[in-house]
Amino acid sequence: MNFLSLFCAFLCLTPALAIWPRPQNLTTGSTPLRLSSTFSINFSGINQVPSDLSDAVTRTTNFLKTDKLQALTPDRGASSSSAVDSARTLSSLTLKFNPGATVTSLSSEATQGLGTQDESYSLQVPANGGSAVLTANTALGLFRGLTTFGQLWYDLDGTTYTLQAPIQVTDAPAYPYRGFMLDTSRNYFPVTDIKRTLDAMSWVKINHFHWHAVDSQSFPVVVPGFEEISQKGAYSSAQVYTPADVKDIVSYAAARGIDVMVEIDTPGHTSIISQSHPEHIACPEATPWAQFANAEPPAGQLRLASPATTTFTANLIKAASSMFPSKLFSTGGDEINENCYTKDPQTQQDLASQGKTLEQALDTFTQATHSVLLDAGKTPVVWEEMALEHQVQLNNETIVLVWISSEHVAAVAQKGFRLIHAGSDFFYLDCGAGGWLGANINGDSSCNPFKTWQKAYSFNPTANLTDDQAKLVLGGQQLLWAEQSGSSNLDPIAWPRAAASAELFWSGPGGDVRTALPRLHDVAYRFVQRGVKAIALQPQWCALRPGACDVDA
């Protein structure tokens, strides 16, 4: 056999070391190693282990027993049985903090502020058995290392093994923000769906949940002091997120290394507030809706020129922000329809009495809503229009979500704002599903075509930026707008595609789709084993034969 044939045979018989996202530094060997039947995960040198870190250890231990993931090879690992049977055993994994580390909870570190977290870790798995060692400066770092450790193993007839010891990993993220956005307003997602999504996010080291909680169609979040909005604005009394639900979700996320950034979009996308406060909404449910709303029905926007509405909104933002410990809070600011305000007598009267233009009123409105966030020690986050299309004086600390096109990133960076990639041309998960508006036979999705995982994976976060501008890039996220999504299809739409950006913004750009695909197959299969209904990326025949289904194979 020539070298190429030998190499292909090796690939078909040896599972890829399927760590996702790709570590910054990884070395492996070729020695089989199996877990002892009494394998345990222990702490060393820690007087009091944070309970959420201890819980993470319990979950990892359980996954090692229940994943039962067979190697993605044609024989599912059977040809390695002799090597596995005679392999040395790993008896334990020891978790340690580096000297001088301050022990705090995983949850507190996850929410302490963007860019302040230390997620680095080091993992050594010896080939000769004994104990593996995981070290980090923080509980968050240990948690990331536990995630990696759980991805090393396969099952063969009840034995948990790897063929590639010794394994050494030194790792840390390239970007501090690695996100996933879920829209819970177009269609409602039960808390169990959100928790399952948070679990899946944590398994690929995504650390921010951007919760697009409310919109024109519904207002499911019960905000203390503003309960009437959800009472009249939720789809039903059963389709709400109570303060207890919010606290539960936030705590669940934090214990998995995830910060929850909520979004209350203003002044647009607020039609539903007219059900409880008609005095604050211009052109509520006006028709034809396309003349009064830039994106979709129903029409309706906050009367941004009204002092009473500005005060109402600032108080709503203040109350909502108090429900979330995150230092990030999004006030949206996208897709404002000028015609709605032009045709609204109250807005025109307010503008005239104040001697302001619409843009000046928008600036006053934004200053009021952002000031309550800044006063609370939080950082405002906005969609790109607020930085590029409107005459608004944003605080220098404001973070901009670039969504309309990745080509707009340079313009945001030129203004000196920190930014998060959320381009619809790379990261929108809902694209390509066909149009959802009725009476539109040949309609297509507004962001057609479908965005493959490879498309997201190919993205360069610093393209067309200077070195100084590149420092403004905080990371990126994939987004699921839910016009055509609900509980029944959440998992297959999101996973494993959303894992593509998880690796892009952890490992950095330049990954090879050829070598990534076998590992992403592994992610999908492991997710399914853990109860997440990830979609198949290819026929299983291809998944078991890396490279065999490449376009040039």
Provide long-range contacts, Cβ within 8 A and 24+ apart, for 380-384: 380/329, 380/330, 380/331, 381/261, 381/263, 381/328, 381/329, 381/330, 381/331, 381/420, 382/330, 382/331, 382/332, 382/333, 383/332, 383/333, 383/334, 384/334, 384/408, 384/412
- Residue 150: CB atoms within 10 A of its CB come to 19
The DSSP H or E segment spanning 232 is helix 227-233
335 is catalytic: yes
The single residue listed with the structure tokens 């979709």 is 296
Determine contact, residues 157/81, Cβ cutoff 8 Å.
yes
Beta strands in 217-312 (DSSP E): 259-263, 281-282, 301-302
Please name the amino acid found at residue 108.
S
Instruction: Spot the catalytic one: 227, 285, 335, 389.
Output: 335
Q: Residue 319 and residue 11: Cα distance in Å, rounded?
A: 56
Cis peptide preceding 518, ω within 30 of 0? no
For residue 95, the cross-strand partners are: 43, 134
The single residue listed with the structure tokens 């959800």 is 230
Please name the amino acid found at residue 117.
Q
Determine contact, residues 496/534, Cβ cutoff 8 Å.
yes
Closest residue by Cα to residue 77 from 182, 167, 158, 141: 158
DSSP string of 105-166, one letter each residue: -HHHHHTS-TTT----EEEEE-TTSEEEEEEESSHHHHHHHHHHHHTS-EEETTEEEEEEEE
Determine contact, residues 20/151, Cβ cutoff 8 Å.
yes
Q: Residue 284 and residue 198: Cα distance in Å, rounded?
A: 35
List Cβ neighbours of 356 (8 Å cut-off, separation of 6 or more).
305, 364
List Cβ neighbours of 420 (8 Å cut-off, separation of 6 or more).
177, 179, 381, 399, 400, 401, 402, 474, 475, 476, 477
- Distances in Å between the Cα of 493 and the Cα atoms of 164, 272, 293, 402 are 33, 27, 27, 22
The catalytic residue positions are 335
